[in-house]
Amino acid sequence: MSDLDPAASRARPVREGVVLACVSLCTILVVGFVASINLAVPKLAESGLNPSSAQLLWIVDAYVVFFACLVIPAGAVGDRYGRKGVLLAGLLIFAVGAAVSAAATGVAMMLVGRAVTGVGAACVLPNGLAVLIHGTRPSRRSHAIAVWAAMTGVGGVVGNVGGGAILSAGSWRWLFVAIVLLATVCAIWAAVAAPRSERHDRDLNPRASLLLTFATLALLVGIIEGPEHGWGSAVVVGAFAASLGLFAAWAFTEMRARHPLLDPRLFRIGGLRAACLGMLVAFFGMFGLFYLNASLLQYGRGFSVFEAGLGVIPMVVAPVVASRYVPALVGRVGRPVVLGAAFVAIGAGLFGLATAIDGGYVWYAAWLVVIGVGMTLALPCLTMSIAAALPRAQAGVAGGLQSTTRELGSALGVAVIGTMATSNFIHRLPAGAHGTRTVADALAVTDPSRHGAVIDAYTAGAGAALKVVAVLVLVAGALVLTDMLWAQRRSRAATPVAEKIAEKVAK
């Protein structure tokens, strides 16, 4: 008897590789778009849109917020109405949003397009993983998940390189046009290659989805608007208070729901809680770096936009070469050891990168390799931990959970590091540039002889921000490991609780 899942029994085993390739490309597309927009930040700052420093952060984060907050509901929609159908719909929505951004005549229109694209991405990622799980034999599933997880890391680098190539050829609008074309190609491929899977009767809770989205938006408003309005201002304090209240309301709503999309009590499962926090921390560091890296290479080193895209290639070496060996390594030495090494590598790499901003590119590239090693170790390990913690009937929600924590980490990383870099930059600006908030504005109002001082102010501020993020990654990584080790020590007592909670969610 074939060991393919019943839902995938109509697909020939030889097609498993095609399904994996298709889902991997879809994953690279939606994850890479998070990274590629960072390369366009300098061009957007100089464009007719005339965005402020805070608006630049929102242009990056609008996509990620809707991506993060709707990915679990989108996974549930796929569970109920069909993973393949929701995957295809997501790719088409993704293309429409990119088209709106490409035609944007102002910041508001750009933000609408970015939000719509985020909704599409939320439909693509969890349902792509669910299609992969249900279309792969159990004997090959760990390998397929490891490859897929690696693609979430590789996607960031591919987004940098591909985005750099496109942007170097012309306007920032070309990037969005290229995304429209790629999303259309992915939709056609998925329509042909992706297998259908069984459906499950899942309740949808739009109220909880809206509460989570607005809670996250309020949190980011507080972080992003802090430097401009002041951390003690009514706007910022009110945003943080609203975020806290909305998160509490979300948790209350989900706990009262008969069939919650994401029962907060799931986080009582130590292994799941630690894995979700670990995913958030890893992407907090990586996408915080991506936000600054493009501008650092272009402003600080004089790289062209294409050279800046190529500048992160060293980071992809480890994922491409070693990701397939991570499951075996986890089996040999255990998850805590692998994750400990991962967080040390990511934190040390970020700190080292901050010290290499003014040095030769060789040292800069070496630290990128170190960060790549950390992400290679972390992503497959964390993804498998989350997938294993929930029943297979909840594959879409499991994929949504790990995607949510990853994208929330990305949004927070961009907001936090962007806010710190801007604050440090403003305080270091030379005379004549005070009152400006972006590098483009500062260069426009200062004498050319002072441009070097403006660039030095930016690189110094960015370096300080990177060091803070590196310390945050190391501290949070230590908390993740402590939680995971504690959960392992209590595994026998926790197993019945974990099974009971997962069973409640599966009903």
Q: For the beta carbon of residue 1, count every other beta carbon within 10 angstroms.
A: 4
- pLDDT value of residue 79: 80
Q: Mark out the alpha helices in 40-137 (DSSP H runs).
A: 41-46, 53-81, 83-102, 107-134
Q: Compute the distance between CA of residue 376 and CA of residue 154 in angstroms, rounded to an integer.
A: 9
Task: Name the token pair of 155.
Answer: 């996607």
| E strands in 218-342 | none
Q: Compute the distance between CA of residue 260 and CA of residue 268 in angstroms, rounded to an integer.
A: 15
Residue with tokens 């991570």: 326
CATH of domain 7-205+257-506: 1.20.1250.20
3-state secondary structure of 220: helix
- pLDDT value of residue 391: 64
Could you say which residues of the chain have pLDDT below 50? 1-14, 494, 506
Task: Name the token pair of 344.
Answer: 């040390």
3-state secondary structure of 327: helix
The domain limits of the chain are 7-205+257-506, 206-256
Q: For the beta carbon of residue 366, count every other beta carbon within 10 angstroms.
A: 15
Q: For the beta carbon of residue 274, count every other beta carbon within 10 angstroms.
A: 26
Task: Name the token pair of 486.
Answer: 């504690």
* DSSP per residue, 366-393: HHHHHHHHHHHHHHHHHHHHHHHHS-GG
Cα distances from 7 to residues 12, 197, 231, 399, in angstroms, run: 12, 5, 53, 18
The answer to whether 399 and 344 are in contact (CB under 8 A) is no
pLDDT, one tens digit per residue, over 444-461 is 888 888 888 999 999 999
- pLDDT value of residue 203: 65
